[in-house]
Structure 1
Amino acid sequence: MLQNIGSRIRTLRTNKGISLNAFAERLNVSPGYLSNLETGKTDTIQFSLLEKLQSELHILPLESEDLDELDLRLKHAKQLLAELEHSNPEAAHYLLTTFENGLELLLKK
């Protein structure tokens, strides 16, 4: 189970553009521990750290185990797009239309 949490942490952290060292410092843990957590090499996690991770990355509830990085990234992009749609519907529509058109263009080649 920690391996699934770890890979989710790494994916969400990197999607936010946060380095391992900077995130470890923010969480008040060593970079080595965070790396081991992300790669499933550790089998312990303190509840207080889990709370910090939830606050920073919204890692829970865990998705089913068959979600890959693409699924997680698309879900994250969907959440961001929904936030943008709330504050700037025209920009959200433009981004989504551009994304869809780009996919269609690339798939035709």
Structure 2
Amino acid sequence: MSLIEQIRELLQSAARDRLSGGQFGEVVAVDNGQQITYQFPLATGMAWQAKKSSYLRRFGELPTWVQLLHPMHRISLCNISLGVGLPPPQAIEEEAIAPYLAKPQSAEVSRQVPDTRHRAPF
């Protein structure tokens, strides 16, 4: 399976699955003005930082659209990329990521969560 096919499969699977919350959160802003809050436990945040570090050493900066994903899905995406030895594409088709961004847990916005915004185009 190609890298793009694996990414599409990850996004489709993630769009159907609900993630549990946690005491930490991150707010991302999509170009259309939508704000998405992802909540996650400390362990997920730490795992994301470790995986991001591995990715950065190998490929450099992540594509901006990756910041639209929940940290758990960013970890999975980095695992895929590191496994095949290729970085993800710099852009992703809107139809591939739109169902992911529309999932119910993405619409939950909490004002108690620190505002760490990332703006990313499709």
TM-score normalised over the length of structure 2:
0.24
**Structure whose residues are more often helix by fraction:** 1
Which structure has more relative contact order (CA 8 Å, sep 6+)? It is 2
TM-score by length of 1: 0.27
Higher strand share: 2
